[in-house]
Amino acid sequence: MSASAGLSPATLSALIALVRKHTGIAMSERKSILLERRLRPRMQALEIGSYQAYLDKVEQDRAEIPHFIDLVTTNDTLFFRTPQVWDYVEQEFLPQWWQTHQGKRLKVWSAAAASGEELYSMAMLCEEFQEAHPGFSYQIHATDISQQILAVARAGEYTGRSVERIHASHPDWVKKYFKPSAKGLQVVEALKKNVELAQHNLLTLLKPHKQFDLVFLRNVLIYFDQQHQETVLKQARHSMAPHSRLILGESESIGGLDTAYHFERPMIYSMEKPG
Ligand SMILES: C[S@@+](CC[C@H](N)C(=O)[O-])C[C@H]1O[C@@H](n2cnc3c(N)ncnc32)[C@H](O)[C@@H]1O
């Protein structure tokens, strides 16, 4: 593309509006360089010479929308991201849930799962808990708006920082739950047996209707404005059992929002008022 085919203020505004329409993400006009960098390879692949022409394509061709969503979402994640959350799940949430729910199946939702490190971290904790507590069973439902990143989660194959992180934090579990792969490490099939993945936009109601015991909604609210944050939190409530817990990201606080969740401790919220 020639330098003259840069992103004009009008096209930038229209693209930002389109990002918001399809994902809820509130992108700042200051992110124009990021947007240009992300869209350019796709435009080159389609031989589209201007951002306005690409905007027209997304508006007119429904088949382009999933590609557009893949390009504008940020999918950073890690195994056992924010270790204190995982300490809470392992040492408090799971034992307490098991005490009151023996014979039931734990239902977990990894909403905005990205490439899957969060859901497989949970699966490893559940497998370990199951070894120590025969009879325990679990199901992890993982969703994301991006089809492309869900395909990575489905494959469960990891490289780079993700691999370094799990080697450093859980070397024994690398041997137990991963196998070497061409790219780095791949989770073993046994870790996928209680996992289902599906595309879902958090601004909408999750279907089919389920009541989860634990919901990870981490590092996604930060991308939305207040109105959409409230919508996402309201929609998530419909999928949460009365005794359930909601886990947010480290830099996400919902104290100032109009929601019916109760603060339990940093990052952890409940549906019912803590007793
Ligand atoms: C930074 S990742 C968070 C991954 C993981 N939860 C964590 O904390 O490590 C944010 C994810 O949110 C997804 N996302 C963005 N907007 C969404 C929406 N409206 N509905 C569902 N997922 C969305 C992106 O595709 C991306 O994979």
Report pLDDT digits (tens) over 45-65.
999 999 999 999 999 999 999
More confident residue, 3 or 227: 227
- pLDDT score recorded for residue 3: 37
Paired sense of beta strands 137-144 and 195-199, if any: parallel
For the domain bounded by 3-72, which CATH number is listed?
1.10.155.10
- pLDDT score recorded for residue 260: 87
Q: Under CATH, which architecture does the 83-270 domain have? A: 3-Layer(aba) Sandwich (3.40)
- Is the CB of 77 inside a 6 Å radius of any atom of ligand 1? yes
243: pLDDT strictly greater than 50: yes
Atom of ligand 1 nearest to the CA of 217: 6
- Is the CB of 153 inside a 6 Å radius of any atom of ligand 1? no
**3-class DSSP state for residue 35?**
helix
- Is the CB of 94 inside a 6 Å radius of any atom of ligand 1? no
255: pLDDT strictly greater than 70: yes
Please give the span between the terminal C-alpha atoms of the chain, in angstroms, as a whole number. 61
Atom of ligand 1 nearest to the CA of 76: 1
State the average pLDDT over residues 104-132: 98
More confident residue, 86 or 260: 86
Atom of ligand 1 nearest to the CA of 23: 19
Q: Give the residue, out of 70, 76, 118, 144, with the most ligand 1 atoms within 8 A of its beta carbon, to mutate for a pocket test.
A: 144
Specify whether the backbone of 260 is left (phi greater than 0), alpha (psi in -120 to 50) or beta. alpha
Atom of ligand 1 nearest to the CA of 146: 25
- pLDDT score recorded for residue 48: 97
Atom of ligand 1 nearest to the CA of 77: 9
- pLDDT score recorded for residue 2: 44
Q: Taken in order 108, 112, 118, 124, is the CA torsion positive or negative?
A: positive
Taking the C-alpha atoms of residue 114 and residue 78, their distance in angstroms, rounded to an integer, is 10
- Is the CB of 268 inside a 6 Å radius of any atom of ligand 1? no
Q: Taken in order 175, 177, 181, 184, is the CA torsion positive or negative?
A: negative
Query: 3-72 and 83-270 share one CATH topology?
Result: no
Q: How far is the CA of 2 from the centre of ligand 1 (A)?
A: 33
- When computed from its CA atoms, the radius of gyration of the chain, rounded to whole angstroms, is 20
Map out the domains of the chain as residue ranges: 3-72, 83-270
Report pLDDT digits (tens) over 141-195.
999 999 999 999 999 999 999 999 999 999 999 999 999 999 999 999 999 999 9
Query: Which residues, including other chains, have CB under 8 Å from residue 28's CB and lie 6 or more apart?
Result: none
237: pLDDT strictly greater than 70: yes
268: pLDDT strictly greater than 60: yes
Taking the C-alpha atoms of residue 53 and residue 97, their distance in angstroms, rounded to an integer, is 53
- Is the CB of 156 inside a 6 Å radius of any atom of ligand 1? no
Report pLDDT digits (tens) over 182-231.
999 999 999 999 999 999 999 999 999 999 999 999 999 999 999 999 99
- pLDDT score recorded for residue 20: 96
Q: Which residue's alpha carbon is at the smallest distance from atom 13 of ligand 1?
A: 112
- Is the CB of 218 inside a 6 Å radius of any atom of ligand 1? yes
- Is the CB of 81 inside a 6 Å radius of any atom of ligand 1? yes
